[in-house]
Amino acid sequence: MKNFKFLLTVILMPLAFNAYADGTDVVCGPWLQNVTQNEFTVMWMTGGKCLSWLETAPDDGSAFEACERPRTYRTIAGKRYTGTLHAVRVKGLEPGHSYRYRIYAREVLDDSNAYCSIYGKELNTGASGTVRTLDYGAGQCTFSMINDIHDRADLYRKLTDPLADKDIDFLLLNGDIISYAANIDTAACHTFGPAADMIRNLPLFFARGNHEGRGADACLIPGLFRTSTGEFYYIFRQGPVAFIVLDAGEDKPDTSVEYSGLADYDSYRQEELEWLKEAVKDPLFAEAPVKVAICHIPSLRFPDSWHSQIWANEYFNPVLNAAGIDLMLSGHHHRHIYVEAGECGNSFPIIANDNEARLDFTATSGQIHVSTYDTSDSCTHTYTIPVKR
Ligand SMILES: [Fe+2]
């Protein structure tokens, strides 16, 4: 028994020490969200409950320590947030400019007394990055997309590692990056971890897949992202291209036994449809020379299509057709599919990217160029798509 107690002490002592020391450690992220011409949001997770903030500086070659840099906190209804999931929004920026950020933290040691919280000392966490704001006036838009990774970190890295030396505007995750959100921390690690070095510097946009709606922590998944609408459907623009991001929800009917009575996606899609009808009139979208729709489940229709695909085909397509969409980019089918305009109620081509491929996109105001690459970074498909206007 004595030996057992000694052994337990030896095992637990370092754990207890680390639990204290690691409270301010950035254990996931940072990742960049809702980057526009004038703002960005940096998100990260700390090992323990912290007050955490950003210091920002222009990327102008000056030392970070050249002067006192502005601090920005996450606030909720006027109060600074303490916790483990941090999201700090920096506003008032210039289009197409680069900014540096550093993450600082103070661990919350004891906040049990409402009038006297005790915090640890201020620490530079060592986590930092540089972000370039989007620029609607830029001559072109270039980005890369992956989809249907399903928790395969090795696949994620193989597809994104070649991007390290490319100058792209953002990375797009087009759904099913995880298979199930059984645990939100694991889901975050699998979504952001494999590209950690890239996405602390590169804006990240996300389209939800049907699998991100599954698992005990699925309702926490929206908390990992920031969009202009607060929903998984939103618009954004870079250079000549406006993007409308859609969410077709779960793939099967809501009453399917697999959903255990929790699916309410028909109502969700209907609300989204009402939003879509107005969103396409937004000048940010309507006035862009190039219009691209992003939806994990493509709005095509095959004889064996499932419920949400049929729904998207019937209800999203008429609005997208009238809005002058030039191209839809999707995933979901785990194989490469190209659907010509006019094949199934779509007046725009649809590309569903393979699950083991990266899709690279470049567009000017007159033309879209798309290429896909396999895990060896060899080109597998290439398309040049004229712009309608
Ligand atoms: Fe899917």
Encode pLDDT of 151-185 as tens digits: 999 999 999 999 998 999 999 999 999 999 999 99
CA of 221 to the centre of ligand 1 (A): 16
Determine the straight-line distance between the first and last CA of the chain, rounded to whole angstroms. 81
Give the number of other Cβ atoms within 10 Å of residue 7's Cβ: 10
3 state DSSP class of 197: helix
Whether the CB-CB separation of 63 and 146 falls below 8 Å is answered with: no
Which residues have beta carbons under 5 A from ligand 1 (an ion)?
176, 209-210, 332
Tell me: the pLDDT tens digits for 74-122?
999 999 999 999 999 999 999 999 999 999 999 999 999 999 999 999 9
Q: State in Å: Cα 210 to ligand 1 middle.
A: 5
- The H-assigned helical ranges of the chain are 2-21, 153-160, 184-192, 196-199, 265-279, 283-286, 307-311, 317-322
Average pLDDT for residues 13-31, to the nearest whole number?
A: 68
Strand partners, 245: 234, 294
Question: Domains (ranges, CATH) in the chain?
Answer: 16-132 (2.60.40.10), 141-386 (3.60.21.10)
Rounded to the nearest angstrom, the distance between the alpha carbon of 389 and the centre of ligand 1 is 32
pLDDT reported for residue 8 = 43
Residue 152 CA to ligand 1 center (angstroms) comes to 15
Instruction: Report the relative pairing of strands 82-90 and 75-76 from DSSP bridges.
Output: unpaired
Residue 36 has pLDDT above 70, yes or no: yes
Give 2's pLDDT tier (boundaries 50, 70, 90).
very low
Query: Which pLDDT does position 142 carry in this prediction?
Result: 98
16 pLDDT above the threshold of 60 = no
- Residue 8 has, within 13 A of its CA and on its CB side, a CA count of 5
The answer to whether 342 touches 300, Cβ cutoff 8 Å, is no
Distance 46 CA to ligand 1 centre (A): 30
Q: Give me the pLDDT at residue 21, please.
A: 44
At 4, is the pLDDT very low, low, confident or very high (cuts 50, 70, 90)?
very low
Distance 178 CA to ligand 1 centre (A): 10
Per-residue pLDDT at 54 exceeds 50: yes
Indicate the pLDDT class of residue 388, thresholds 50, 70 and 90.
Answer: confident
302-353 pLDDT per residue, tens: 999 999 999 999 999 999 999 999 999 999 999 999 999 999 999 999 999 9
Q: What's the mean per-residue pLDDT of the chain?
A: 94
Spacing, Cα 316 to ligand 1 middle (Å): 18
Tell whether the torsion through CA atoms of 187, 188, 193 and 199 is positive or negative: positive
Measure 318 CA to ligand 1 centroid, in angstroms: 23
What spacing in Å lies between the alpha carbon of 150 and ligand 1's midpoint?
A: 9
* Cα separation, 279 vs 285, whole angstroms: 7
- Alpha-helical runs (H) found in 280-341: 283-286, 307-311, 317-322
Determine the distance separating the centroid of ligand 1 and the alpha carbon of 344, expressed in angstroms.
20
Stretch 118-146: mean pLDDT: 97
C-beta atoms surrounding 180 within 10 Å:
17
* Residue 30 Cα to ligand 1 middle (Å): 26
CA of 317 to the centre of ligand 1 (A): 19
Per-residue confidence (pLDDT) for residue 22, from 0 to 100: 75
CB burial of residue 114 (10 Å; 0-12, 13-18, 19+): exposed
Query: Distance from the CA of 372 to the center of ligand 1, in angstroms?
Result: 19
Has residue 10 got a pLDDT over 90? no
Distance 212 CA to ligand 1 centre (A): 9
Q: Kindly report the pTM of this predicted structure.
A: 0.93
Distance 211 CA to ligand 1 centre (A): 6
Structure tokens at 122: 């201020």
Nearest CA to 215 out of 183, 190, 257 is that of 183
Q: How much distance in Å is there from the Cα of 249 to the middle of ligand 1?
A: 9
Please determine, for residue 389, whether its predicted confidence score (pLDDT) is greater than 90: no
- 232 CA → ligand 1 middle, Å: 15
Using DSSP bridges, classify how beta strands 98-110 and 118-119 pair: parallel, antiparallel or unpaired. antiparallel
Matching residue, tokens 């202009």: 228
Least confident of 58-62, 256-260, 282-286: 256-260
Residue 1 has pLDDT above 50, yes or no: no
Q: Interior CA angle at 297 toward 307 and 238, to 5°?
A: 145
Determine whether 358 is exposed, middle or buried from the number of CB atoms within 10 Å of its CB (0-12, 13-18, 19+). Answer: buried
Residue 235 CA: distances (Å) to CA of 273, 283, 340: 14, 11, 24
Per-residue pLDDT tens for 198-242?
999 999 999 999 999 999 999 999 999 999 999 999 999 999 999
